[in-house]
Structure formats: C-alpha cells, structure tokens
Amino acid sequence: MAVSANANGQEVSAAKKDAVRDKSVYSPVQTSRIDHTPTLPSVLQGNFKLNHGPPSTSAGQPEEIQKLFPCLFGQPSVQIVKSDSPSYNVDQKLKVGVVLSGGQAPGGHNVIAGFFDYLQAHAPGSVLYGFKGGPAGIMRNKVVEITAEFLYPYRNQGGFDIICSGRDKIETPEQFQQAVDTVTKLDLDGLVVIGGDDSNTNAALLGEYFRSKKVKCHVIGCPKTIDGDLKSVEVPISFGFDTACKIYAEMIGNIMVDARSTGKYYHFVRLMGRAASHITLECALQTHPNVAIIGEEVNSQNKTLREVTNSIADLVCQRAEMGKHYGVVLIPEGLIDFIPEIQHLISELNEILANQGCDEHGHWKSTLKPPSRALFDSLPHSIQEELLLERDPHGNVQVSRIEMEKMLISMIETELFARKHEGSYSGQFKGQAHFFGYEGRCGMPTNFDTTYCYALGYAAGALMHLGQTGLIASVANLTAPASEWTVGGTALTQLMDVERRNGKNKPVIKKAMVELNGAPFKKFASVRDAWAVEDSYVSPGPIQFAGPTSDDTNFTLKLELGAPVDV
C-alpha cells in the first residue's frame, strides 16, 4: 500500500491525508488571487494531438549522449496541436507524481495546479501524488495525495510549501533503484520533475533508467529557476525569473528614488543569481542604474577586481564634478566567480588551508603566488577574514558568504581617499550595501508566471497522457497573448552536452549564460553610458495583478524573442 508522510516526516498511510492548509490567515491579496483563473493556451482547450518533429540530436557530442541515453536519444520533440477528437484513451485513469526540486521560484504551485487540472479535465479519476521535500521524497517514498481541496489554497500563491523542495540528487545505482521501488509501489504511470538544469538532467536519467528497466513510469520535466539560466530556443524562459526580477526591480526603483531625493549615497545592490548575470541584466533594463556589472563581460575581458572598482571610482569622480554624490550600482551575486584573479586566489587559499593552515603571524602568506599575494593584501580586512574563516564542509572558502557589495564599497572608499589626497577628487562618497535574494524567490507570482506555469503543468499532463517521456514541457510564442502560446515537449537529450567529471562522462544541460552578442546585453550596452551620468532611473513600482500592463512580461524575454521594447 502507498505510504505518505506527515509534516514531521513520519511515514503514515496514504489514506491519511495531510491537513488542508488553513487559509483563514490569508491576506486580502492572497485571498483575491486564489480564485484567479489563468488563461489556457487555446491549443490546450478542446481536443488536441501531437505533431512529431524530426529525430532529435543533442547540444553537443551526440555520440556520447547516445551512449548515455540509449533508449531516449534521438526521439523527436513534439508540438501539441488542435484535433477533432481526443487522441488519447478517454477511459484511462492515471496515477502520477510530481516533485519540486532545488531552490524556490514563484509559480511552482501553478505548475502543479495546471497538471492537476489537466487530469481532472481529461483523465478524471486519476490520482496525483506529491513527493515531499524534493527528490529525497522519491527515494524515501514520502508522498501526499494532492486533491482539489488540498491544492486549492496554493493556487496562484508563491513558494513551494505545498510539498516543499529539496536539493538531494538521485545519483547512485542504489538511489535509482529506490526510485524504481517507489514508483512501482505507487504504481505510477508518470512523474513530473519541476526543477533547474541539474534536476532536468536528473529527470532525463530517470526516464532513461525507467525505460531501460521496463518500468512503465514516464518522466516529464518543467523549467524552473529564478536565475534564468535554463533556457534554449525551445524553452524560451524558466519560470520564476519574471517575478523575482520584478520584485528586485521594485526595490531597486525605490532605492533609486531615495538616492536621488537624498543625494548623498551610493547604493550597491547585490542580486541573487550565482552562475549567470541574467537577473542583474534584466533589473538594469527595468530600472536604468548608473552601473550594472555583468559577470560574463567581466570574465570575457579578463578584468581584475581593481579594474572593476576603479571604473566605478572613475564614475563617482565624474558624477561628483556634475554635483552628483549619489548613484546606484547593481552587482550579480556570482561576480566573484567571474573574476579570474579571485578564482586563483581562492584556489590557492583552499590549498593552503587544507595543507599547512594559516599561522597567526601571517607567514603563510609567503606561500601565495605574487599576484594572489598582492590581491589578498589589497582586500579590506573584513574580506580577508571572511576568506580565511568561512569554510564549507569540504574545507573550501564559502564564496557565497562573501559580501561582495561591501567589498566593492570598501575598495572604492580606499581608492577615492587616495584620489582625494592627490587632489583629483573632492567629493563625499558614502556607500550603502544591499542584498536582495530571499525576498524574490517566494513572492506571489506575476500574471506572467502564473499563466506560464499553469500552461507548463497542463502541458506536462497532456504529454504524459499521450505517452511521452524524457521531454521537457515547452511553452513558446510568449510575447503573444497567452491564448496564442504554442505548447509542446522538447527532448531533454536535445538540450544536453557532455562534461568530464571525476574521470567519467556526465550529461549536462549547460547553463545559459548572458550572451554578450545577444539582444538583451546589446540593448543594455547601447544605453548604459547615458545611464551612468544622467539620472535615467525608472521605478517599476509594486507588481500589479490588474490593469493594462499587469500582463507584461520582462525585457530579457521580449528582446530575445525580437519583440519591441521601450527601454
């Protein structure tokens, strides 16, 4: 018999359902959103069928991908199109599962809602299980049955708290076997994996494994990450990016108004988004800061930390001459990963910490290579301490704990102090540091994310019902009204390349970085010099759920799709 888990993680019979969430404490806005009905793309209304494309290949090294995915490699991507009659067995009831994997992103609940509503509409009598706490819930068979009543209060709401998420991976042969045991025990026809690049790679591996073991369970992925780095031609955007950027942009816009009103602070805003700088770029397009550092550009130009800070100091001096002693600077969380010299320093530090350790007299510093030594000595004391003190469980420096925004402020202060001394600067520089992260991950999804996620979940249901596996739900034509969006499934192997890790070939969906010759960056690059000196600040204000512009999407997506924008 199927088992599930209560809130404390104890396993209980599936018959005993989790308590339905008490929505008596909902805010008026939360309450007003519950009954909002997202527009469904018209191809998902009425009857539909699949159009199969040509055999697929991979993003790189197709022979290697074929070796890793002997069953799934080459299968075509599909489009859902209208048909005269149902193309599935109308009497079929499905038993299916869903799992949320990795960090939260606004809209996750709506993917589940879309999936659930598909089943209600097209396969009534089906059963939907939610795996609790991420992939670990699959391995340990921690599950809750998602009913209409249970799902209702989460509709159009932020967060992943309906079944929570987790960062575990299904990796070892034992873990794959646990997954087989669970889906067999639950008699699952399919599993929807909602996650980022890693999770979707894992979804493909799971689909391959199930197929190879003749397990009937199909696997469909959905693209999730606020960072915006899971995308391709077929999957134009990951969900959550739109909402998170708009929340950050609201706050940045407010700070800009404050900066201009007060006239005496430089605000340095670090934004979540580690691997790629999409969030920083989108927020820049929305708000027009004086500076937005794009990690990919810094890296491509092999810039040093000093070059980055000096260019900001130059602008501070230039603005001071215009009588402006304020400004706003956006910094991607992952900046430190993009500056080669810092990476060298950190890897040397990791080595030293692992072997000799650091003596308190600082003799250890002589083992640093000269460029790293010079860089270390140039860092503010507090950052030196962070580099030496914060370690992760593997003994490595915890880069994510380093408050890059404070580091830049401190280094610019030092530089400007020197310039003041020389007489080349006579202003007042006061930095204010901000980090926007958690505020954006669990916001209430925008109309775009609400609608997009619902379509993704509905599409996942349709793909599964039509016998598909190893696909990622792909909803496109996103700059058109939602009714005109196209819907399909892209072979997950199509997005893959191979990386060599620990002597083995591993399939990976490569993170989509900011393209320096892509439309969003080029638009930014064409206007940033004006933004640097003029005050072109834009204040997007709070996300609105009603009104003429509440359905607007983001600049990055529009520019990438060639839609007109007004930046």
Q: Does 29 bind a copy of itself (CB under 8 A)?
A: yes
Q: Which residues are annotated as a binding site for diphosphate?
A: 103
How many residues of this chain interact with a copy of itself, rule: CB under 8 A?
A: 63
- Catalytic pick from 117, 227, 242, 449? 227
Q: Does 260 bind a copy of itself (CB under 8 A)?
A: yes
Q: Which stretch binds a copy of itself (CB under 8 A): 7-15, 41-49, 277-285, 454-462?
A: 7-15
Among 189, 208, 250, 333, binds a copy of itself (CB under 8 A): 250
Q: Does 459 bind a copy of itself (CB under 8 A)?
A: no
Q: Does 400 bind a copy of itself (CB under 8 A)?
A: no
Q: Which residues contact 311 (CB under 8 A, 6 or more apart)?
A: none
Min CB(208)–a copy of itself separation in Å: 29
Q: Is 314 considered catalytic here?
A: no
d(CA 81, CA 462): 11
DSSP state of 397: B
Q: Which residues are annotated as a binding site for substrate?
A: 225-227, 264-265, 272-274, 333, 438-441
Min CB(267)–a copy of itself separation in Å: 7
Residue 335 has, within 13 A of its CA and on its CB side, a CA count of 27
Report whether 223 contacts 111 (CB < 8 A).
no
d(CA 534, CA 443): 32
CB atoms within 10 A of CB 13: 10
What does the H/E/C string look like for 170-207?
A: CCCHHHHHHHHHHHHHCCCCEEEEEECHHHHHHHHHHH
Q: Give the nearer residue to a copy of itself in terms of CB position, either 112 or 495.
A: 112
Q: Which residues contact 471 (CB under 8 A, 6 or more apart)?
A: 77, 78, 220, 221, 463, 489, 490, 491, 492
Q: Does 564 bind a copy of itself (CB under 8 A)?
A: no
Min CB(507)–a copy of itself separation in Å: 28
Q: Give the nearer residue to a copy of itself in terms of CB position, either 361 or 501.
A: 361
Contacts within 8 Å (CB) and 24+ apart, 300-306? 300/516, 302/340, 303/339, 304/339, 304/341, 304/375, 305/339, 305/341, 305/342, 305/375, 305/378, 305/411, 306/378, 306/411
Q: Give the nearer residue to a copy of itself in terms of CB position, either 167 or 373.
A: 167
Q: Scan residues 542-561 and list those touching a copy of itself (CB under 8 A).
A: 542-549, 552
The token duo for 25 is: 């404490």
Q: Which stretch binds a copy of itself (CB under 8 A): 441-449, 465-473, 492-500, 556-564?
A: 441-449
**Which among 84, 87, 75 has a CA at the least distance from the CA of 50?**
87
Q: Give the nearer residue to a copy of itself in terms of CB position, either 286 or 490.
A: 286
Catalytic residue set: 227
List of residues contacting a copy of itself (CB under 8 A): 7-9, 25-30, 32-33, 104, 133, 157-161, 164-165, 247, 250-251, 253-258, 260-263, 265, 267, 286, 288, 322-323, 432, 434, 438-444, 536-549, 552
